[in-house]
Structure 1
C-alpha cells in the first residue's frame, strides 16, 4: 500500500494522510506536570484553556499550518475531549499520542507494581498498554476510551538511559511494530545508543523520529548525522528556543541546510516544542506558528529551496504519521 493511500489517526478519527498539510510534530497543547492538577495552588480552568489554545491554533492555521501533534503522551495533561472540541472549532487536525517517560515522571504504579518482589514494568506490559491506546482508543481516566492515538512517544532520562527507560523504549517499539504507528522519542544522553535499542526491536528506521537533536550536546556529538545514517528521522523540536542548552535559530537553519545538501532532506522534521498551556511548570511562550513565520525565511536564506521546505514541513511528517 502506498503512503498516499494511507490514513493518519487524529482525535476526530482517521483522515487521509495527504490532508494533513503543514505538520508540527512535537508540540504540547495542555501540558500538566504529573500530579499538578491536585496541587492547592493549581486551578485547571478548562474553558479558559480552550480559549487560549483555540487562539494559538487559529494563529497556526492563519499562517499555513494544518496539523499539530500533541506529543506529550499519557498522564501529562492529555485531554482528548478538549482536543476534539479544539479541532472542530479551529479546523486544525490534532494528532494525540500514547506513551510515557522518562522514568522520573512515571507514577509509582509503573515502578513498583504489585509483584513479588516489587519490580518495574517489563517492556511487554508497556507495549500492551500503548498498543491498546491505538487499537481500542485513548483512555479518558475512569470514564471511557476515545479515538486512537496517532503516535507512540517516550523520553529517556537526561543523565542516561535507565533500565526502566529501556523497557519504555522497547515497549513503545513493540507497540509501534504491532500497530503500524510511528514511534517518536526524545533522546536522553546518547541518541544513537537509544535509537539502536529501538531498532533492535526490528522497527523500520523510517518509522522512528528522534527528538531533541537541536541540543548543543547532540550536535557536538554528531548525533543528527548518525541518526539519519541509520535511516531514522532527525527532529529539531525546539525551534524558537535560544538558550545555553540549544542552538540558535540561525544555527538550526545552518544545520538543516547541511543535512539537505548531504541528501537527507527526507529525514528532517521541525517543530517548536511549544507549550500552549502549562500547569505545574512554566510554558515556553513559543508560538505554534514560529516555524512558519520566523524559521522558514532563515532556511531560504541558507539556500534551502521551496521543494525541500515543502518536503520537510509536509511530506516527511505525512509519511511518518501514516499508519502502515
Structure 2
C-alpha cells in the first residue's frame, strides 16, 4: 500500500476515508491578488482536522484530487508524521475543462486529446518513480489513480484519461477511482473495456440523486466495482440526505453487496480559489455510522465498509 511516507502493510490502514481533499487549489489561484498561500497556516488547519479524524477512530485519508490541484507531497509527508494519520496521495487528472492546454495538443486544428498511452505513461511514472514536485523532481509514490469525467457526459479527452488511468492501474497494481460524468455505468464500462478487473475500480458520486434514480449504485456493485457514496454530510438537493444514504447502504448490504460499498465525505481541508466542503473528516464516524446502526447494520458490517473494503481496494496487486 503506497502512502506518502512509503509502503505500509494494508492491515495497518484502519478506518479509511477514500475520497477527500487535503489542500485543494484551483490551478492559477495562487497568483490571484486576493488569495494567500500561507504554508504554516495551512499546515496548522490540516493538522487539527487530521488529529480530530484520528481521535474519532480514523486511520487513513486518501487525497483523491490528483495532479495540479494543490497536491503538496512534502506538506502531506510532514502532516502524516505529525498526526499519525496515513495519507495516500493520488495521480490522475480530469475532467477535460480542468486540463491545461498542454494536454490538449493545441498544435493540431482542431485540438485533439492526448492519446491514451501518453496519459497512461504519465500516471504510471507517478506510481513507479514518484509524484512530480515542482523544483524537486519526484518523491513519494501515488497510491491511486483518480480521474473525473465532464458533468454533461464523457468527452473524447475524458475517455483518453479514463483509459489511460486503467492502463496505469494495470501497469502498476494500484486501483482507479473515477468520478463519472452523466452516466456512471457507461463511464465504468470504459475502464473495464481496458481489461482492468472490476474490483480495482471505485466509482464515486453514487449518492447523487441522478445516479440513484438510474439504479447506478446497485449496477456498479453487481459488476464487481466499488460503489462510493462520497458526499456523506452533503444535503444540497443534488445528493441524497444522510438518512437516505443510510437506507441505500442498508439496502445494498441486505442485497449481498456489503463488500462493494465505500464511504467518504468529499471534505476539503483547505480550499483556495473555490468554496471548499468544510466538513470534518470524522463526519462519517461521528454522524453517519450511528444512522447505519439505526438501520440494523452491525459492527461487522461497519468494519467491512470502513476498514476491509478500502484496504482491499488500496492494496497494490
Distance 1:126 1:70 in 2: 20
Alignment deviations for residues 57-98 of structure 1 (CA, whole Å, 9 cap, x no partner): 000000000000000000000000000000000000000000
Match of 2:8, SS state, is strand
- Alignment of 1:171 with 2:164, yes or no, is yes
Partner of 2:305: 312
Partner of 2:60: 67
**1:111: Cα distance to partner?**
1.1
Q: Pick the aligned partner of 1:123 from 116, 119, 124.
A: 116
Q: Pick the aligned partner of 1:137 from 99, 117, 130.
A: 130
The equivalences for 1:73-112 within 5 A come to 73-112=66-105
CA contact (8 A) 1:239 1:271 kept: yes
- Alignment of 1:186 with 2:179, yes or no, is yes
Partner of 2:225: 232
TM-score norm. by structure 1 comes to: 0.96
Match of 1:189, SS state, is coil
Partner of 2:248: 255
Q: Pick the aligned partner of 2:154 from 150, 161, 166.
A: 161
Aligned residue pair count: 317
Alignment deviations for residues 203-262 of structure 1 (CA, whole Å, 9 cap, x no partner): 000000000000000000000011011100000000001111000000000000000000
Partner of 1:32: 25
**1:284: Cα distance to partner?**
1.4
Alignment deviations for residues 91-138 of structure 1 (CA, whole Å, 9 cap, x no partner): 000000000000010011111354687522011000000000000000
Change (3 A) 1:113 1:47: same
TM-score norm. by structure 2 comes to: 0.99
CA contact (8 A) 1:184 1:211 kept: yes
**1:188: Cα distance to partner?**
0.8
Match of 1:159, SS state, is coil
Distance 1:35 1:117 in 2: 25
Distance 1:9 1:264 in 2: 27
Distance 1:292 1:143 in 2: 37
Q: Structure 1, unaligned stretches of length 5 or more?
A: 1-7
Distance 2:258 2:298 in 1: 11
- Alignment of 1:58 with 2:59, yes or no, is no
Distance 2:108 2:172 in 1: 28
**1:318: Cα distance to partner?**
0.2
The runs of at least 4 aligned residues of structure 1 exceeding 6 Å deviation read none
Q: Pick the aligned partner of 1:300 from 293, 297, 303.
A: 293
Partner of 1:5: none
Q: Structure 2, unaligned stretches of length 5 or more?
A: none
